Structure 1
């Protein structure tokens, strides 16, 4: 399925919830906490790569991962009934041999589920291809959209060095080829690659883009961020964090991508957000659904509001609902909004934030058209930075 067609399908599904989103955004969320509509589930820290910018693989412990028998009672609650978007990540999700059954379980317990996203290294094609194919076919039968991206952080040896995997590029390429072929016959399935940009692979960013174009692959570029709840990599910030030369390169690189992307795409939204943050001293200009309607669940059952949140508790000890609405935890969420959100780099669920927070998105569209016409005037278009409380 073409990316543009998939986006239309997604917009059509999202449109059915617009009245509810308006009520939640402008009324309900002002009166009381609302249930989560987005969920990230890191299903394991076990990984088949040892990435130089991520330490999740060091935390891999299959014995501490929740089993499906443990997960099902957690999901068997009306609390999850508002979740529309589910992202399954890790670690490497396909190291969980029960991943297809896991997706089926989520679909069973999330009645409003519109879209599933899965991030994969693609480094074990013999395992990943049949597993992901089964998931795509299941989602097709249930009318659920699914997006899968294979991580590709360089071409040839560069990818192998970033992922610390021998022949990693060739292995990932096999999964990419199979998934791209599958997408052509499944209209519910969007496929592409994702690249995390940092100092080690920055010189190869243009090569990744050129390679993706020769393969007619959709590609998303992400800036490396540092978060222990999601990547266990805060200790790496001093050694591989961004400096002025890298920032100058990335700002131009992302503005170039804004030039090429449709302003209606979530990617243009994210790229302008990155360019803004580099230019304005890392003050966030993009809204985020995790401020009031998101959750992050980790492999052992630890629950977080988002990747910047402290642990709220563990869903094997207390219900997710009680942890989510606990007064002490809600107070913590407010502190995140005031202290961390204003400078947060995360692009998680960028499309959801666009759909659910219309006024900021409308302002973005106006700015994006201006930047596309005259990228040299980007700095003039920057919105005023709100002071951190």
Structure 2
């Protein structure tokens, strides 16, 4: 009990320090506008009260939307304040040494510290406005700012009949997070406009339980592909992150999720494979259950590929990209292309093609978004179609991937 109180005290002390420094910037920029100062504290107190309410009422079972709103408000409030803190704390260090030097030199009377410079507060305020507006955009617009990313992949041993074969990959739908039917309809229509041969979904249909998909069934049933739709499970699909009244209830939920995949028109692959036939030729599609470093490892690649020819062209769906480095790239059979998701690119980052590609996800996953090639094998990590926890996307937009397979000319 004492340790909990100490942690709470330290947390409140840190929050108080952040807010105190941020308020100094407001005081310096708006010295006479009392309503601005009152507005600052009113907004901050509202955010903290809402955060407390969201935590007290949070329930995975009830899918309480307050948690997502809390996350967005907290991030929207704290990140700009941390930037202001960095500027003003740095200025205070300089003020301290400047005051100490002048006092030692005998050239300073009165207050020890020089006054804050309005320019520093204005600069901090202006720079803090950039992430504030970016986060606001991510919450209001970015989470549904779907983009289509296209890749052409060449292989020496691709059957001729599959030259030009197109695959649309989507991942991480997280249906329990959606809140705008019209924008979701737009995203599904955009998938269909790609007119691909296959649609492959690489896991996390829901956040926690099968019921989250019920409001969106009709929308996702509209997905179409000439040669079928196939899917796998992600780590969130098993219901491992919520409390169940009984083991039987959890099993029943997973069984219902299997039925949902079927009702959506997806063939769910659970540690199994099947041929995709075109003319006289075929390629092998493999789907494993979730296998992730630091996550549940239900996947069994050896079982899924047990009956496949070593010479066949193979595409693997595996939700977590860490599976590629840990097992897939060194697997006995040559797997030409692995499709993953899971990371979401942390829903936050900076991507400027040819210049910079960074996200906090890179600190956890060496292969966190986009196309990678290693040992003659390709991995594509989809940035996700939906969103989770934080109801927004900043710089890492929801992704629809189109992969065109080409036979390399000799």
**TM-score normalised according to structure 2 size:** 0.36
Relative to its length, the structure with more helix (as a share) is: 1
Question: Bigger radius of gyration, 1 or 2?
Answer: 2
Relative to its length, the structure with more strand (as a share) is: 2
Relative contact order higher in (CA < 8 Å, ≥ 6 apart): 2
**TM-score normalised according to structure 1 size:** 0.37
